[in-house]
């Protein structure tokens, strides 16, 4: 593109620093919000007011912020469930299923200790909370092991297997919590029995302890990929499976391992949302909604390019926007689905702007003036 | 099929001409004032070491790059290629060294793919008839129904050539046409190239090494060095020596003397080993041999005779169908490749880009490929990156790998430097057994010399070396034992002193030489 005596040109980037990537992401967000304001204008709403409400509810409001934080924890677990296989070049589309199984495993522990029938408050949280966490992680891991094994042993597409398991587990949850199910709420209502108050997760400033857990995983994963032997093996397999095999890295072990780790983290999201978020404490009727939200782990993982630390702000933004979007939809009487539309536009902008990770726009004098200078021999 | 160029073009007319081509990249003048022309029916080779500017020139002629200075003329008319599509449109065809085919598709599908007439519905029947005609005319043989992944490199190249011809190319640019081919395939290809030239096509092979090929086939040869044309002769006036001098800018020693090393105890013992190929046929049919300390065991053969399978079975990347492999007395027939690395195996694979290295990884991370399992470089599950970095710096200095630094990604290295890097990494472990498969394939003269010397050095350090090569001269000059392989069997094992081009060549073609076996 030419403007007067200067020319706009795309140039391939050779390197990309962390702050450049961050700046590009911020620009993408601004761009998405600008585009999305058209929707608000079409709905006769001042976009400035709408955004003010979205942001203040999502990130400031004393009712809204905890909701955002809880979604953030949930989403970050799901993001890691995606990122770990992603670094091995594999696609985990099964965080929803692994999350459901995590939730079921959590409630299985409660059921085993008789929490359903007695609802007694004498159960010791010191024993049972760790057991629930463990069960959730193991449950997700076992489900994850299935696509990991079939991929590693028989080279069956992990995408197909994980997706199938999502359907299977969705109905398994329904089977367990709805009419006649083992975990059915005594009052019917299509949800699970409630957990006893004594087993509610410890809160720190109204935030469940799971936030420390997920942030610890952030550091752990970052360290794992940057420094450890296993992290190296995962990355090598991800970049070039044949070369990894040549270097003595097992083509069975790596897929199995990354899916076990990823599945375990998605399973912990199941514990978090249905056993640690204040006010929930049961497998809710709308568990499918969270299953859908779990897929945003894929988006967050892709936007952060598999970097566990970069995933933190991305997951926080998406959690806030889904929460604030849903709020403003009711508050301003907007049409159904505004929250998902907003997430969608954000996602497209962030992904599209990754073009600038590889190319930069430069201003250049036009060719005419260059040829005046002459090319040195 | 468009025939714009061919109509009215007579044998001997200049079809493609480049005048004063200059192409500058940040920091490098890749091409400087290059003049070049080719006539219909001529074979005009372009010769140069890696980094001499061949690839740049090729890409300029094919429209991938626009030159900073200079013009291209086709049949005397000035043209301006904005993209390869323009070049293809005007009858220029390019056969890449790294094949650009869809491996899951059949041969004929690949040939038709991208053809302007292919449209939405493929008329494969008609295409088959037309391509068969081309095959007949130029003497190509290929199974149209085979999937590309099943083909050997030579067969893939035939597909690429047919694809270009089928699109109506009149000027054929061949990038390293024989680098991946077996002697037999090479011979066939050269015949086909001559047939094409007879048919008034203009052919431009770009060649880094294999000077005999240049001499055998071309009418004219242009030599590039550091982006400039340093010489251009009629081939009849050139010799191997004069070409090498111009290319390298100094005299080159063509033969490396076989080093005398005292034979030690056996390192690798292979008994009646057999294996199945990807196509599910018995590719290796019971080979037996022993390699001792300080020996180079050369396996000579035309590609596709079981060498790939043998290398992979020895490296633990393919299951043995039967037989036994022993490494320093330990049965490793069922051992994983990881265990073999730890026991002192060192494998230099034929495919250095897709198997031997990880392109997106830094050189440090590439070195790690051979050290992530080494207790001296891993502490409590964490890699000792400080030590690995030091090691990488040390080996790139020792092996003279040209790179800005150890954080450069492997994909940025040229073929020769990448091979040096792989060699450095593998040999730095001081392996007891070195398996080197096509170690000098595609390398320029300087790098080839270097790699061969390093293999001899490994031998002097009492390693057992298995050298699998298609370059007969390489096998003959380095090996203490020569085993010609044909259809998965050794045709005999000859002491290096008795091996000659004649007897080994005959055995490579499937003849058992009686009385010479051990």
Residue of A nearest to B339 (CA): A248
List, for residues B31-54, the tens digit of each pLDDT value. Answer: 889 998 898 889 999 988 777 888
Residue B516: pLDDT band with limits 50, 70, 90: very low
A245 touches chain B (CB under 8 A): yes
Residue A337: pLDDT band with limits 50, 70, 90: confident
What pLDDT does residue B257 have?
A: 66
How far apart CA A1 and CA A362 sit, in angstroms, is 11
What pLDDT does residue B255 have?
A: 61
Percent of chain B with pLDDT over 90: 41
Q: Which of A62-76, A255-269, B210-224, B330-344 has the lowest mean pLDDT?
A: B210-224
Percent of chain B with pLDDT over 70: 93
Q: What is the mean pLDDT of residues B126-133?
A: 88
Residue B2: pLDDT band with limits 50, 70, 90: very low
Q: How far is B356 from chain A (nearest CA, A)?
A: 6
According to CATH, the topology of domain B264-344+471-513 is: Rossmann fold (3.40.50)
Six-digit token pair at B240?
């191997």
What pLDDT does residue A368 have?
A: 46
Yes or no: say if B437 and B468 are a contact pair by the CB < 8 Å rule: yes
| Edge-to-edge order in the sheet of strand B330-331 | B282-292, B266-276, B322-327, B330-331
List, for residues B152-185, the tens digit of each pLDDT value. Answer: 878 888 899 999 999 888 899 998 887 767 677 8
The architecture that CATH gives domain B14-248 is 3-Layer(aba) Sandwich (3.40)
Yes or no: say if B328 and B432 are a contact pair by the CB < 8 Å rule: yes
Residue of B nearest to A249 (CA): B338
What pLDDT does residue B27 have?
A: 65
A61 touches chain B (CB under 8 A): no
Backbone angles phi, psi at B145, to 5 degrees: -90, -10
Q: Which of A153-162, A367-376, B41-50 has the lowest mean pLDDT?
A: A367-376
Question: Would you list the domain boundaries of chain B?
Answer: 14-248, 264-344+471-513
* pLDDT of A175 strictly over 90: yes
Six-digit token pair at B159?
């597909």
Q: Which of A96-100, A146-150, B443-447 has the lowest mean pLDDT?
A: B443-447
Exposed/middle/buried for B379, CB within 10 Å: 0-12, 13-18, 19+?
Answer: exposed
ipTM: 0.84
pTM: 0.77
What pLDDT does residue B188 have?
A: 86
* pLDDT of A8 strictly over 60: yes
How far apart CA B324 and CA B287 sit, in angstroms, is 10
How far apart CA B269 and CA B295 sit, in angstroms, is 13
Query: Can you say whether residue B42 is alpha, beta or left, with left for phi > 0 and alpha for psi between -120 and 50 degrees?
Result: beta
List, for residues A246-295, the tens digit of each pLDDT value. Answer: 999 999 999 999 999 999 999 999 999 999 999 889 999 999 999 999 99
DSSP string, B212-237: HHHHHH-SEEEEEETTEEEEEEEGGG
Residue A3: pLDDT band with limits 50, 70, 90: low
What pLDDT does residue A142 have?
A: 98
* pLDDT of B388 strictly over 50: yes
DSSP string, B41-94: T-BEEEE--TTSSHHHHHHHHTTSS--SEEEEEETTEEE--SSHHHHHHTTEEE
Q: What is the mean pLDDT of residues B214-218?
A: 86
Exposed/middle/buried for B467, CB within 10 Å: 0-12, 13-18, 19+?
Answer: buried
How far apart CA A253 and CA A151 sit, in angstroms, is 10
More confident residue, B326 or B23: B326
Select, from the ranges A168-172, B3-7, B93-97, B513-517, the one with the highest average predicted confidence (pLDDT). A168-172
What pLDDT does residue B119 have?
A: 64
A 10 A CB-CB count for A8 gives: 11
A 10 A CB-CB count for A55 gives: 17
Residue numbers in B near A228 (CB within 8 A): 381-383
More confident residue, A359 or B327: B327
What pLDDT does residue A247 have?
A: 96
Q: What is the mean pLDDT of residues B61-65?
A: 89
* pLDDT of B342 strictly over 90: yes
More confident residue, A231 or B408: A231
How far apart CA A207 and CA A201 sit, in angstroms, is 9
Please give the radius of gyration of chain A, using alpha carbons only, rounded to the nearest integer: 24
3-state secondary structure B275-311: EECCCCCEEEEEEEEEEECCCEEEEECCCCCCHHHHH
Q: What is the mean pLDDT of residues B64-78?
A: 89
More confident residue, A365 or B97: B97
- Closest by CA to A182, choosing from A129, A117, A119, A138, is A117
Residues across chain B: 518
How far apart CA B333 and CA B272 sit, in angstroms, is 12
B349 touches chain A (CB under 8 A): yes
Six-digit token pair at A55?
């942001």
Exposed/middle/buried for B3, CB within 10 Å: 0-12, 13-18, 19+?
Answer: exposed
Mean per-residue pLDDT of chain A: 90
Question: Would you list the domain boundaries of chain A?
Answer: 1-37+342-372, 73-319
* pLDDT of B441 strictly over 90: no
Same fold yes or no, B14-248 and B264-344+471-513: yes
* pLDDT of A373 strictly over 60: no
List, for residues B481-495, the tens digit of each pLDDT value. Answer: 999 998 899 999 999
Backbone angles phi, psi at A162, to 5 degrees: -65, -40
Residue numbers in A near B68 (CB within 8 A): 375
Residue numbers in B near A229 (CB within 8 A): 372, 378, 381-383
Q: What is the mean pLDDT of residues A168-183?
A: 92
What pLDDT does residue A119 have?
A: 59
Residue A372: pLDDT band with limits 50, 70, 90: very low
Residue numbers in B near A375 (CB within 8 A): 22, 24, 68-69
What CATH class is the domain A73-319? Answer: mainly alpha
* pLDDT of B118 strictly over 80: no
Residue numbers in B near A236 (CB within 8 A): 358, 361, 365, 368-369, 372
Q: How many CB pairs under 8 A join A and B?
A: 73
Query: H helices then E strands: how many in chain A?
Result: 17, 5
List, for residues B232-255, the tens digit of each pLDDT value. Answer: 888 888 888 788 788 777 666 556
What pLDDT does residue B202 have?
A: 87
How far apart CA A124 and CA B103 sit, in angstroms, is 61
């Amino acid at each position: 593109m030419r403007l007067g005596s200067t020319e706009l040109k795309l140039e391939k980037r050779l390197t990309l620093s962390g702050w450049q990537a961050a700046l590009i992401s911020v620009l993408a967000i601004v761009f998405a919000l600008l585009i999305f304001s058209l929707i608000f204008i079409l709905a006769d709403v001042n976009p400035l007011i709408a955004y003010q409400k979205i942001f203040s509810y999502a990130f400031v409001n004393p009712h809204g912020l905890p909701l955002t934080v809880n979604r953030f924890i949930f989403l970050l677990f799901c993001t890691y469930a995606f990122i770990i296989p992603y670094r091995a070049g594999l696609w985990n589309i099964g965080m929803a299923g692994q999350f459901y199984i995590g939730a079921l495993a959590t409630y299985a522990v409660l059921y085993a200790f008789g929490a359903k029938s007695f609802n007694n408050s004498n159960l010791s949280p010191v024993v049972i909370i760790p057991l629930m966490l463990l069960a959730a992680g193991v449950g997700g891991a076992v489900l994850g092991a299935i696509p990991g094994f079939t991929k590693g042993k028989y080279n069956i597409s992990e995408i197909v297997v994980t997706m199938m398991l999502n359907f299977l587990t969705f109905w398994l949850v329904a089977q367990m919590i709805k009419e006649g199910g083992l975990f059915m709420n005594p009052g019917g209502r299509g949800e699970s029995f409630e957990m006893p108050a004594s087993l509610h997760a410890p809160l720190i400033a109204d935030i469940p302890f799971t936030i420390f857990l997920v942030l610890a995983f952030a550091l752990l994963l970052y360290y794992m990929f940057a420094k450890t032997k296993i992290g190296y093996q995962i990355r090598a397999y991800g970049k070039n499976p044949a070369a990894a095999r040549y270097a003595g890295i097992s083509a069975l072990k790596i897929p199995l391992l990354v899916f076990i780790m990823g599945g375990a983290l998605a399973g912990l999201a199941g514990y978090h949302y249905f056993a640690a978020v204040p006010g929930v404490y049961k497998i809710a009727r709308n568990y499918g909604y969270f299953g859908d939200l779990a897929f945003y782990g894929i988006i967050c993982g892709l936007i952060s390019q598999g970097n566990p630390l970069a995933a933190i702000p991305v997951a926080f933004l998406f959690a806030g926007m889904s929460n604030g979007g849903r709020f403003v939809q009711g508050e301003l009487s907007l049409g159904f689905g505004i929250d998902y539309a907003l997430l969608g536009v954000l996602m497209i902008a962030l992904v599209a702007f990754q073009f600038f990770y590889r190319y930069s726009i430069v201003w250049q004098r036009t060719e005419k003036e260059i040829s005046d200078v002459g090319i040195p021999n | 099929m468009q025939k714009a160029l061919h109509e009215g073009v007579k044998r001997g007319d200049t079809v493609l001409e480049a005048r004063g081509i200059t192409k500058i990249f940040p920091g490098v003048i890749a091409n400087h004032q290059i003049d070049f022309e080719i006539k219909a029916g001529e074979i005009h080779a372009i010769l140069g070491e890696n980094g001499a500017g061949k690839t740049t020139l090729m890409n300029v002629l094919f429209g991938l790059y626009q030159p900073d200075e200079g013009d291209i003329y086709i049949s005397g008319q000035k043209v301006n290629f904005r993209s390869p599509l323009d070049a293809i449109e005007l009858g220029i065809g390019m056969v890449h060294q790294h094949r650009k085919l869809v491996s899951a598709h059949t041969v004929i599908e690949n040939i038709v793919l991208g053809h302007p007439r292919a449209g939405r519905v493929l008329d494969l029947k008609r295409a088959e008839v037309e391509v068969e005609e081309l095959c007949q005319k130029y003497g190509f043989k290929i199974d149209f129904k085979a999937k590309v992944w099943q083909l050997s490199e030579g067969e893939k190249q035939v597909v690429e050539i047919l694809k270009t011809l089928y699109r109506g190319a009149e000027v054929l640019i061949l990038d390293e046409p024989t680098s991946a081919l077996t002697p037999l395939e090479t011979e066939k290809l050269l015949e086909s190239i001559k047939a094409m030239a007879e048919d008034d096509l203009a052919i431009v092979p770009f060649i880094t090494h294999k000077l005999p090929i240049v001499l055998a086939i071309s009418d004219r040869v242009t030599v590039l060095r550091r982006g400039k044309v340093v010489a251009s002769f009629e081939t009849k006036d050139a010799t191997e020596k004069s070409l090498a001098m111009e290319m390298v800018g100094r005299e080159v020693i063509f033969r490396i003397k076989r080093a005398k090393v005292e034979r030690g105890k056996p390192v690798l013992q292979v008994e009646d080993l057999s294996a199945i190929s990807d196509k599910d046929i018995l590719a290796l049919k019971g080979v037996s041999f022993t390699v001792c300390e300080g020996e180079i065991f050369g396996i000579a053969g035309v590609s596709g005779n079981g060498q790939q399978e043998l290398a992979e079975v020895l490296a633990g990347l393919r299951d043995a169908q039967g037989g036994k492999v022993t490494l320093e007395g330990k049965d490793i027939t069922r051992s994983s490749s990881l265990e073999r690395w730890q026991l002192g195996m060192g494998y230099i694979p034929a495919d250095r880009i897709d198997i031997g290295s990880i392109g997106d990884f830094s050189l440090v991370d590439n070195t790690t490929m051979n050290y992530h399992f080494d207790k001296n470089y891993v502490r409590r599950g964490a890699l000792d990156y400080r030590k690995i970095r030091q090691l990488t710096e040390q080996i790139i200095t020792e092996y003279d790998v040209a790179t800005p630094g150890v954080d450069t990604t492997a994909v940025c290295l040229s073929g020769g430097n990448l091979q040096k890097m792989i060699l450095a990494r593998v040999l730095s472990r001081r392996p007891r057994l070195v398996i080197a498969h096509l170690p000098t394939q595609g390398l320029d003269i300087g790098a080839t010399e270097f790699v061969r010397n390093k293999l001899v050095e490994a031998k002097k350090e009492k390693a057992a070396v298995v050298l699998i090569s298609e370059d007969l001269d390489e096998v003959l000059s380095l090996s203490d034992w020569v085993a010609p392989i044909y259809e998965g069997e050794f045709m005999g094992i000859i002491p290096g002193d008795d091996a000659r081009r004649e007897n080994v060549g005959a055995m490579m073609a499937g003849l058992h030489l009686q009385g010479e076996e051990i």
